Structure formats: C-alpha cells, structure tokens
Amino acid sequence: MVKSYEAGGTEFRLSVPRLDILKGAKLAFVGESGSGKSTLLELLAMILRPTESKAFNFQPAADGQIHDIAAAWESADADHLSDLRSRHIGYVLQSGGLLPYLTVRDNINLSRRLVHRSTEDVAEHWAERLNIAAQLDKQPAKLSIGQRQRVAIARSLAHDPSVLIADEPTASVDPLHAERIMELMIGLVDELGVTLIVASHAHRLMGRAGLQMIDHAIDAVSGNSMHVTVSDASS
Ligand SMILES: Nc1ncnc2c1ncn2[C@@H]1O[C@H](COP(=O)(O)OP(=O)(O)OP(=O)(O)O)[C@@H](O)[C@H]1O
Ligand SMILES: [Mg+2]
C-alpha cells in the first residue's frame, strides 16, 4: 500500500510493502514527527484512501469474515468502509477528539449510538474502569488533559471493537500520568482481547508498556518502506 501527498512543492510518500497484524498483537509505531505515523494509522483505520493499494484485507475478530478493503476503496464503497470502521475499530485521535458540547457520558456513549447499540450503564461501566466516574456529567473543557484522554479511550472501547488504534494517546500528559494511562489501556486490551496499534514518539514508555515496537520503520527521507510481521500475542 502506498500513500503519497504533494503539498508546497514537496512530496511525502509512505510505502508499506507488507504488514501483517495478527489478532491480539500490541504494537507501537515509533518515529519522528512528520514520519507518517498518523498517516499509517488512518490508512489502517480505513479513514484515509490509499494512493495505491495492491492488497488490504481486514478480518475482524467479531465477524471472522475477510473484507477486501482495497476493493472497497477502488469501488468507492464508502458505506461498507464506514460500517466496518464504526463496528470494529476504536480510534483515539492525536488531538483527543471529544465533542465539546456533549457531556463525558454522551461522548462515551457516542461510539455505541453510531452502531445502534444500547447505552444503558455503559458510560458508568467505562468511567469506573478508567477512574473518571466523577466526571460523567461534565463537558470535556472542564476536565484535565489526562482525564480527557481517558474519556477518549473509554469512548474508543465502548462499542467492543476488535482493534483499538491510538494516535499519541499520552502525548499531552506528564510522564507519570502517561505511564498510568498506558497501563490502564494495556490492562483493558489484554482483558478484552483487543488488538492494539499505537503511534508514539515515546520510545521508552512504549517499551515499558510491553508493546512490540516498529521503529525506524517509517522513514520519510529515504523512501520509507516497511516490511513487518507482527506476531499473534497468544502464539
Ligand atoms: N493532508 C495532507 N496534505 C499534504 N501533506 C500532508 C497531509 N497530511 C500529512 N501530510 C504530510 O505527511 C507527512 C506525514 O504526516 P503525519 O501526520 O502522518 O506524521 P506523524 O508521524 O504523525 O507526525 P507527528 O508525530 O507530528 O504527529 C508530513 O510530512 C505531512 O506534512
Ligand atoms: Mg501524528
């Protein structure tokens, strides 16, 4: 798969010759700012249309079927892609991405509302797990940055996705809280059997959290290629 951008007379090209991510894997793409981490996560989340895509298959644990994502992009089947995305992917945006006019409760419930699932006691359950139970009736602006990140993680897991994709989930919090948030997130994905894909600058933090690191894999200067097989955590 290839994604290229051209802007201001420069080209950015991310090429992924091969990438296999197996169920239950926990991995981090680590690289410099501008190296293409967010671009890669958005491709994997089926948000960003690849420039070229020879093959891109997605087999969500929840339905077991193999979906041909390359073909869906080719035929511009936006409904299929958005259906897969909303059912099987949890996404924590680099910027947090909470809706400012909704309460914490409604932000957490949003991912389930999108797929028409019951929200009864859901926000309460996730808020308890992520130590933000006292924040449920507040709007995001009234929360600390670390609390907002925890709300974003709660929202990304509330609809029982197969894959959690988190873009710099701890970039805006201090090192102590970053470690706590990573511990919470790892604990939850281990318990739920969710595949975790993180992008981060924080090499040491990712290592301590026990994530498999894909380092220097994305190299914007030298033509950037990646050839990685990420093994099944359970095998
Ligand atoms: N919409 C766009 N149009 C043109 N170029 C873009 C666009 N989005 C990103 N780029 C370029 O693609 C490259 C990779 O960007 P990306 O956001 O993936 O990097 P990143 O590794 O996530 O960086 P950071 O660590 O700062 O978040 C950058 O050089 C950026 O300028
Ligand atoms: Mg980024």
Per-residue pLDDT tens for 23-72? Answer: 999 999 988 888 888 999 999 999 999 999 999 999 998 888 999 999 99
Stretches in the chain below the pLDDT threshold 70: 215-235
Which residue's CA lies nearest to atom 14 of ligand 1?
Answer: 36
Which residue's CA lies nearest to atom 26 of ligand 1?
Answer: 33
CATH number of the domain located at residue range(s) 2-99+161-230 in this protein: 3.40.50.300
**Whose atoms come closest to the Cα of 93: which ligand?**
2
pLDDT of residue 215: 67
Of 88, 95, 86, 98, nearest to 132 by C-alpha is: 98
Q: Is 221 in the pocket of ligand 1 (CB under 6 A)?
A: no
Q: Write the CB contacts of 202 (distance below 8 Å, at least 6 apart in sequence).
A: 30, 170, 171, 178
Task: Assess contact for 7 and 165: CB atoms under 8 A.
Answer: no
Task: Assess contact for 173 and 145: CB atoms under 8 A.
Answer: yes
Domain ranges, ordered by start, for the chain: 2-99+161-230
pLDDT of residue 216: 52
